[in-house]
Structure 1
């Protein structure tokens, strides 16, 4: 009995001696305690020539406990070592390192083949208004167009991420991203070349972000899957701009680039560039297995100087709230939504459908109240086939005496698509969209579009 107990204890000692590289601090402490216990038991065996039945049973039970704990800890250490190995392998495959900085390249290649028609006038050949939906540019009052077809790879984008080890436990990260949308370049006759443009460029250190990225007022995670560049544009908060953002848990607050857009009495747009205070945005995010929601609020100081209109200086308050999110439905489906309302939000909604404010004869600013929103449902037909159906709406309360009746009063759109993923990160999608815009004078125009897109993300 004594020999078998000693053999078990020695085996336990061997199990305790797991590789040091697979340990963490808490596991090390537990192993030290077990080693001490094993040593005490062996010493007790050596000091006793005879043992009664109760002593033998006590030592046997203790030995069994030690064996069980050490076996469990060995399994834990093996799992930890495997995880460490997997992370190291992933790091080797994902990007490359130069000194203490790791670089990662990503993006996607996308081709859009689309055909569209409008009820109230022809959209110019080569204009960005034919690349994706811009609600404020839907023609009104002209002759209906035919079906115009365009092919484009302009949405293709590339980004570079970096993460630098500063030696203090907090990495310094950066993100730079470009694409080729809304930029000039070659025509459609020969080269189809387009100049790159900066989409995002920011750095993150701890809880702080500095640079250009999506506005804190916008919830990118709520956007539905669409072949169009945005999809539910009339009802969507959409803005990228420079900012300073602080994040603490679920809460974010940011000071973002200000810019006041003004509607003149003739319905034109003026960008005075007289802003003195940043736009202040606060946002709270909450998520779980059920999905996620975000509530964002914004306060703006809309401003114009007398050197723009020859009138008195004036500042007006702009403000707004936006509730958005994604709710999981069943195992894979989801419902996405956004609802936004406020005064002086013009440039944040639907690609600036209306302006932030109008100006009266005395030079005073009159912020324009707007409300908007969208809802989208995505359903998975199978592991590689899915569809999204979505609709959005926008409405402005224009001060018509100051803006004229030729500005947009309402806009809405709806689309449905079918997306097939024959391979990982490779999508082929077909989408039909209908969009409409109404002026304050009651006239309207619509746009219909059929779009086929292929995208490979790398």
Structure 2
């Protein structure tokens, strides 16, 4: 009777093992999960064979040995099924043939800044992050002004749809609350959402609004400030059509000419006829990554702008950027950019693309800029970034006047701690300076504490 009871218990245990085959029902959607289905089918066949041998009253010893091996494989498969389920949860949810994911981050910035050449208005976006072309010059020094803001908080919605061609049709929609109108600092702080990125991809093609192909976002250093090395970096998001093949990219991007008027103001002509053309090559390895980009622009104004007839000029530029890994975790990041008529692409439009001469022709403004940063890990989750950037413009002063920016630079150092995955707490000190063509300058100093949780 004891032998029969043991056989009966063993038979029930083996039958229970076959129940694993129904676990990954939702896991039969991808190539990676197909191997799970095949292994489960083989496991079920092995269980069936052992049960048949038990029913034929075969010797228990070899059956027990095979059962132990079967149990081990069952445990391994159960762990793998759990990993698949976790990955599916992390990848969002499905609606028909479309996979939907939601991401982004919540960020609080607490900062205090002072300026040497004038007061930045209360509640102004100019206090929230560094905009080099607006550093006050020529006024009275301010005291330390303190502001809290959650405006950088960001929400990202992504989709990927199986259209039956073996390549998903994907989309990316991203919003935040920077540089928008809304509530004041007295009561609500209810800022209006704004569109950051909105594009779709299919195969090698991208259509929509995203970072300019001329900008290597991956080279930007870690900073508490919204950008960090603003004077020395290409910074532009705009609509485009982009084709990518391996490391090679070519894009047709939105044109827009910014012109310095004879009075020293800024004119957005809106008369552009040809898109900005960008070509870029990316190369990477276990040492890091590097990119080289070139841009060609047609700058235009029409006869209704200054009454001098329509005129155009050629703008062009090159940019080299990258990240070089140093040791196990440290890295060096950099960018160097130079060109004629690049004004709106550099440092949030520090200077304009061109000036207009006495005959009404456009005179492109040559600029060069760059930054370098080094990030060092003191321990797991504890790191420091030190960075500096520089911008210089060769303004035709007879056309622009001497109240335009000649150069700008900044430097910062921070300490960032990650007490938990996806949670960062950091403190940063920044010094920035702007100098006009007439020699006057203004400085900005800022201490910023930020907390960010990415989801």
Q: What is aligned with 1:401? A: 398
Query: Residues of 2 paired with 1:394 and 1:385: CA distance?
Result: 31
Query: Residues of 1 paired with 2:353 and 2:418: CA distance?
Result: 41
Secondary structure at 1:193's aligned position in 2? coil
Residue ranges of structure 2 left out of the alignment (5+ in a row): 1-20, 22-27, 43-71
Give the drift of 1:310.
0.5
Q: 1:325 aligns with which of 322, 338, 363?
A: 322
Query: Residues of 2 paired with 1:101 and 1:133: CA distance?
Result: 40
For 1:170-209, what aligned pairs fall within 5 Å after superposition? 170-209=167-206
Query: Residues of 1 paired with 2:376 and 2:297: CA distance?
Result: 38
Does 1:429 find its partner at 2:444?
A: no
Q: Kindly name which structure, 1 or 2, has the bigger radius of gyration based on alpha carbons.
A: 1
TM-score normalised by L of structure 1: 0.83
Q: 1:119 aligns with which of 113, 116, 119?
A: 116
Query: Residues of 2 paired with 1:346 and 1:358: CA distance?
Result: 11
Give the drift of 1:312.
1.7
Does 1:254 find its partner at 2:257?
A: no
Q: 1:160 aligns with which of 157, 160, 163?
A: 157
Secondary structure at 1:270's aligned position in 2? strand
Does 1:293 find its partner at 2:290?
A: yes
For 1:139-158, what aligned pairs fall within 5 Å after superposition? 139-158=136-155
Give the drift of 1:94.
2.4
Query: Residues of 1 paired with 2:309 and 2:78: CA distance?
Result: 71
Size of the aligned set, in residue pairs, is 392
Q: 1:389 aligns with which of 383, 386, 389?
A: 386
For 1:323-362, what aligned pairs fall within 5 Å after superposition? 323-362=320-359
Query: Residues of 2 paired with 1:194 and 1:416: CA distance?
Result: 29
Query: Residues of 2 paired with 1:81 and 1:321: CA distance?
Result: 53
Runs (4 or more) in structure 1 with deviation over 6 Å come to 21-24, 78-85
Give the drift of 1:79.
8.9
Over the aligned positions, Cα root-mean-square deviation in angstroms equals: 2.1
C-alpha distance 180-210 of structure 1, shift in aligned 2 (>3 A): same
Give the drift of 1:88.
5.0
Give the drift of 1:23.
6.7
Q: What is aligned with 1:243? A: 240
Query: Residues of 1 paired with 2:409 and 2:220: CA distance?
Result: 16
Query: Residues of 2 paired with 1:89 and 1:143: CA distance?
Result: 58
Query: Residues of 1 paired with 2:262 and 2:77: CA distance?
Result: 69
Does 1:441 find its partner at 2:453?
A: no
Give the drift of 1:222.
0.2
Query: Residues of 1 paired with 2:318 and 2:77: CA distance?
Result: 45
Give the drift of 1:93.
3.4
Does 1:456 find its partner at 2:453?
A: yes
Q: What whole-Å deviation, never above 9, does each CA across 1:77-114 have from its counterpart, x for those lacking one?
A: x9999768734540233211111101100000000000
Query: Residues of 2 paired with 1:87 and 1:378: CA distance?
Result: 35
C-alpha distance 267-79 of structure 1, shift in aligned 2 (>3 A): farther
For 1:363-378, what aligned pairs fall within 5 Å after superposition? 363-378=360-375
Residue ranges of structure 1 left out of the alignment (5+ in a row): 1-18, 32-74
